[in-house]
Structure 1
Amino acid sequence: MENFMIEKKEVIIVYDDDSKEYCDYLFALISTKKDTIARCLSLKQYEETIATLSSENNIIFIGNNKITENKIKYTNNSFKKYGMNYGWMGKHCIIYIEDKILEQDEYKAFIDYASRVNTKFKEENINIIESLKYNSLLAVFSSFFSILGLGFVTYISYKSYLKYSKDKKKIKNQQYSTLINIFFTDGLDKFLGE
């Protein structure tokens, strides 16, 4: 009986401080594939080892940072929806979220879309929709009243801003989690040329 060796494809995942958890998630997903191996490098490690890498290395960059900023301009987006993007040029793939928060209607559509990828997603995140509506109305009123010097409204505005920041972080996390799933399911094999 002949032994068939499966040639394994190797992929390097490069992350920054903000995208480490998404790198770990993608790494775990890739570990379920028998024909692909992955290793992770921080942005600093990547910069230190770039001279040892060749044009044959498959590299996935996650996040918006100084390295991906330049590469995004030259990358063909294979996927672009609800602020989520991935694409590649040659052996370099970039997975990133646009740095803008989704508006309320766009967020509702995103929740519906993401719910098809993850069924428990909608129930867990429906409260953010109401929060986005409240924050956009409050922002208009608070900017008007803070000009008049009403400290109470400024205080409410500040509390609203803190909630908005927390929601923005949660939405970004939702976008990245969804995007990593979509990339793994629909994009990874195409990127690796399978």
Structure 2
Amino acid sequence: MFGDGMQKNELPLIIVCDDKDMVYANYLIQLIGQKDDAGDSIVGVEDDSVSAAIYTVKNYKDNLPQIPSTQHILFIGQTSVAKEQSKTIPDAFNKLGMHYGWLGKRAVLYVDDTTSDWMKLKDSKKHYTEFWQFSKDRGMTHPDALAEYAKKLSGGFVDKIMPVVVGAPKMLIDYNKTVNAVKAQQYKTLIKVFYEDGLRSFVEG
């Protein structure tokens, strides 16, 4: 049953995601498990105050009849169940394509398709740099995901737009890889921001 194996006073949290987003759910659990509080200063949630478990979408659907309305659930990514929840959940955070928010005991966290839009613009490097700097300011330093892709475009990003890129199958593959790499960075930054700024308010609400 839900909550089995928890220490006294731990708040149970279910994280729902698909297989491709499991790495981000695991990252959040790693952050939750840190002993990062110092004296009266609490980072994220208080140490040992939250017990989290990861459910796949199938696990969630199979157990849905037994999950109480009082159970805190975080939906990561843009799965069908996450999209359904997000219809009625307002954003608590919305920046550079990264979103999280909650209503009652349900929360969503996802990266939208802004990254794909960035790559279609002449100033895509500018948008990515803004994200990269935001991440750095939050203690997350990412490798330059655009560097390798930019080398393959004569004149770099500032002189190219998407229609030129999609004309070559190889460049389209590189484009897709780059978009996925940037999204992975966005998710890691977003998880850290949620842990530090949002998780405590959500699970204690």
The two structures have a TM-score, normalised by structure 2, of 0.78
For residues 82-125 of structure 1, give each alpha carbon's deviation from its aligned partner in whole angstroms, at most 9, with x where no partner exists: 1000000100010001023252122111111011123532x544
Q: Residue 140 of structure 1: CA displacement? A: 3.3
In the aligned structure 2, how far is the partner of 1:99 from the partner of 1:138?
A: 17
Give the number of equivalent residue pairs: 177
Look up the SS of the partner of 1:77 in the other structure.
coil
Structure (1/2) with the larger helix percentage: 1
Q: 1:171 aligns with which of 178, 182, 186?
A: 182
Determine whether 1:106 maps to 2:145: no
Gaps of 5+ in 2: 1-6, 35-46, 119-123
Q: Higher relative CO (CA 8 A, sep ≥ 6), structure 1 or 2?
A: 2
Aligned to 2:40: none
Q: Residue 6 of structure 1: CA displacement? A: 5.4
Aligned to 2:29: 27
> Quick one: which amino acid aligns to residue 189 of structure 2?
T
Aligned to 1:75: 89
In the aligned structure 1, how far is the partner of 2:130 from the partner of 2:196?
A: 21
> Quick one: which amino acid aligns to residue 197 of structure 2?
D
Moved more, 25-34 or 72-81: 25-34
In the aligned structure 2, how far is the partner of 1:46 from the partner of 1:119?
A: 31
The answer as to whether partners of 1:84 and 1:96 remain within 8 angstroms in 2 is yes
Q: Residue 138 of structure 1: CA displacement? A: 5.8
Look up the SS of the partner of 1:74 in the other structure.
coil
RMSD: 2.4
Q: 1:139 aligns with which of 155, 162, 184?
A: 162
Determine whether 1:160 maps to 2:171: yes
For residues 117-145 of structure 1, give each alpha carbon's deviation from its aligned partner in whole angstroms, at most 9, with x where no partner exists: 23532x544626846954972633467xx
Aligned to 2:195: 184
Aligned to 1:47: 61
Gaps of 5+ in 1: 144-153
In the aligned structure 2, how far is the partner of 1:92 from the partner of 1:138?
A: 39
In the aligned structure 1, how far is the partner of 2:107 from the partner of 2:22?
A: 16
Q: 1:127 aligns with which of 122, 138, 147?
A: 147
The answer as to whether partners of 2:146 and 2:178 remain within 8 angstroms in 1 is no
In the aligned structure 2, how far is the partner of 1:136 from the partner of 1:100?
A: 20
Aligned to 1:9: 11
The answer as to whether partners of 2:145 and 2:181 remain within 8 angstroms in 1 is no
Q: Against the structure 1 CA distance between its residues 142 and 182, is the aligned structure 2 distance closer, same or farther, given a 3 Å change threshold?
A: closer
> Quick one: which amino acid aligns to residue 49 of structure 1?
N
Identity over the aligned pairs, expressed in percent? 27
TM superposition outliers: structure 1 runs of 4+ over 3 Å: 123-126, 128-136, 138-143
Q: Against the structure 1 CA distance between its residues 139 and 65, is the aligned structure 2 distance closer, same or farther, given a 3 Å change threshold?
A: same
Aligned to 1:150: none
Q: Against the structure 1 CA distance between its residues 136 and 62, is the aligned structure 2 distance closer, same or farther, given a 3 Å change threshold?
A: farther
Q: 1:92 aligns with which of 89, 101, 106?
A: 106
The answer as to whether partners of 2:149 and 2:175 remain within 8 angstroms in 1 is no
Aligned to 1:66: 80
The two structures have a TM-score, normalised by structure 1, of 0.82
In the aligned structure 2, how far is the partner of 1:17 from the partner of 1:119?
A: 24
